[in-house]
Amino acid sequence: MDIEQLRTEVGTIQADARRVLADIPSVQALREVRSKFLGKKGALGRLMGTVRSYPPEQRSEVGQTLNQANKAVTALFEETARRIASSESVSEASKASAFDPTLPGVRPALGNVHPVTAVQWEIEHVFQRLGFTVEAGPEMETEYYNFEALNIPADHPARDMQDTFWLKNGWLLRTHTSPVQVRAMEKFGPPIRCIGPGRCFRYETTDASHENTFHQCEGLMIDRNISIANLIAVMKLLLREVFRREVKVRLRPGFFPFVEPGFELDMNCQICGGSGCATCKKSGWVEILPCGMVHPNVLRYGNIDPHEYTGFAFGLGLTRLAMMKYGIHDIRVMNQGDLRALVPPSRLTGPAIQAKQ
Ligand code: PHE
């Protein structure tokens, strides 16, 4: 090949390189074609090997021509590499814009919850749907709210029903969640729809069904024309929602100074199915929902006119309900910190409950 042909050949190689590199899609593809042009056995490399075959006086010109071509093609490759890099980062950026960091993420259900917490969430959910608010009263109470305002005066024998932890300052640890009733009446005035879940304390000997520290959930509904029919309807709905089926219940008269008439609502023991066990004291029934129509005296303590308004109240045994629902035989397990008694997310019922986690 004479020097003229060499110049033409070099021109063709450069034009080829420009054409090929114009639509190279990626760094990877660029790397693959690089050796075809710039490698030792590539188009230019091969020509470099022929320098010696030219007469000595032409060699430096041949060398210069090839070197220039080599530089130009190398520059082309570099420019292409820059172009690809910048377009790749543009597409990365556009991919990133499809991800909206302000959207709420999918929260995995993590951790197990205490059975009492699990049923408390369910109860709150059921009652919130019925328009009830969730109230919390103090665990350390005054005698007034725990007894007096609930129609249990100092000399009333009913004070013996609940053995009380008295505090040195004359206050006490609430023996039930009923103090929330009068507090709610003072706070809202009629009409009222609220529940008050919380911890209660009694100075008691413990056994499979008694603890000195346990949970109740108070319920209170006050309005014009509230009757026992409303009470029973709400109680049934509550148990149906918690157990996700009809539960066998029985209603019998019960005495509590702050309701008139008062009832004990028992449910079929879910541990033994009603045949009798230690949890239900061999009766087949578990006292779960003491309730009744709010006593006129209690309404008066709450500054509500009993001639205009009536209401019902209940004191759901949250701890017992959790035992029935999760098949826990011994109430003492609830306060022992036994991790095996906790409820995994998969056993929590209802979408709202899972979302709460
Ligand atoms: N406070 C009562 C108890 O703990 C239960 C109860 C509440 C009864 C509300 C009637 C109405 O024994």
Q: Where in the chain is the domain with CATH 3.30.930.10?
A: 115-356
Which residue type occupies 175? Answer: T
Give the pLDDT score at 355.
Answer: 53
Give the pLDDT score at 93.
Answer: 62
At 348, the pLDDT band (50, 70, 90 cuts) reads confident
Rounded CA Rg of the chain: 42
Question: Which strands, in side-by-side order, build the sheet including 285-294?
Answer: 133-134, 192-201, 213-223, 310-316, 285-294, 259-268, 249-253
- Best of 146, 160, 164, 178 for a ligand 1 pocket test (most atoms within 8 Å of beta carbon): 178
Lowest mean pLDDT among 26-30, 131-135, 178-182: 26-30
- When comparing pLDDT for 204 and 89, which is higher? 204
Nearest protein Cα to ligand 1, atom 3 = 176
Closest CA to 239 of 290, 295, 289, 304: 289
Closest CA to 9 of 80, 76, 65: 65
Length of the chain: 357
Nearest protein Cα to ligand 1, atom 6 = 315
CA of 317 to the centre of ligand 1 (A): 9
Give the pLDDT score at 350.
Answer: 60
Q: Can you tell me the mean pLDDT for 50-75?
A: 86
Packed helices 228-243 and 115-129: angle between N→C axes, nearest 10 degrees: 130
Question: Could you tell me if the CB of 298 is within 6 A of ligand 1?
Answer: no
The per-residue pLDDT for range 193-228, each reduced to its tens digit, is 999 999 999 998 888 888 999 999 999 999 999 999
The CATH code belonging to domain 115-356 is 3.30.930.10
Give the torsion through C-alpha atoms of 239, 235, 140, 168, to 10 deg.
-100
**What token pair was written down for 285?**
């029934």
Q: Rounded CA gap, 10 and 4, in Å?
A: 10
The answer to whether 24 and 84 have CB atoms below 8 angstroms apart is: yes
CA of 170 to the centre of ligand 1 (A): 23
311 three-state secondary structure: strand
Give the pLDDT score at 153.
Answer: 85
Closest CA to 81 of 44, 40, 38, 43: 38
DSSP letter (8 states) at residue 113: B
The per-residue pLDDT for range 272-289, each reduced to its tens digit, is 888 888 878 888 898 889
Question: Could you tell me if the CB of 256 is within 6 A of ligand 1?
Answer: yes
The answer to whether 143 and 223 have CB atoms below 8 angstroms apart is: no
Closest CA to 200 of 348, 76, 331, 56: 331
DSSP letter (8 states) at residue 342: S
The answer to whether 347 and 114 have CB atoms below 8 angstroms apart is: no
Handedness of CA 118, 121, 125, 131 (dihedral sign): positive
Does the pLDDT value for residue 158 go beyond 80?
Answer: no
**Which atom belonging to ligand 1 lies closest to the Cα atom of 262?**
10
Handedness of CA 222, 227, 230, 236 (dihedral sign): positive
Which residue type occupies 10? Answer: V
Which helix (H) or strand (E) element contains residue 350? none
- When comparing pLDDT for 102 and 178, which is higher? 178
**Which atom belonging to ligand 1 lies closest to the Cα atom of 219?**
9
Give the pLDDT score at 352.
Answer: 47
